[in-house]
Amino acid sequence: MKLAKTIIWINALIFVVYGIIFLLIPVESSNWVIDTSPSTTSGLIDMRATYGGLTIAVGIIFYLLASQEATLRLGLISVIVALVSMAVTRFIGIIVDGNPNPTMLIYLVLEIVFAVVGLFAFIRLNK
């Protein structure tokens, strides 16, 4: 149970911090992640809302799910589903679009590693 909570809390923290960074400094964050930034104010607003607000919300949801024993399994499943979805769609993007920057490859590896560790924790939790 401790491993499951730890996995969820780590992901909650990562999502919240990532979201706050995109909320506060979207241009710099975007340049670091995708080598460019939105060229319109609406693009920046959407970046703050999507990369910022939505990502913060996901992190908060992860935290809430990890905070109660009754929702721990759901929290772990949520983390696994989110990370696998991100990894699969990122991988598809790499195949279809090609030429990813190093950040995309680092994210892909981290998504896979955390998803596998999360799956391991889920299996342990169910024994």
* Domain encompassing residue 96: 2-125
Could you tell me if 33 and 21 are in contact, meaning their C-beta atoms sit under 8 angstroms apart?
no
pLDDT tens series, the chain, 127 aa:
899 999 999 999 999 999 999 999 999 999 999 999 999 999 999 999 999 999 999 999 999 999 999 999 999 999 999 999 999 999 999 999 999 999 999 999 999 999 999 999 999 998 8
pLDDT value of residue 119: 97
pLDDT value of residue 127: 81
pLDDT value of residue 43: 95
DSSP code per residue over 6-51? HHHHHHHHHHHHHHHHHHH-HHHHHHHHHS---SSHHHHHHHIIII
pLDDT value of residue 66: 96
Count of domains in the chain? 1
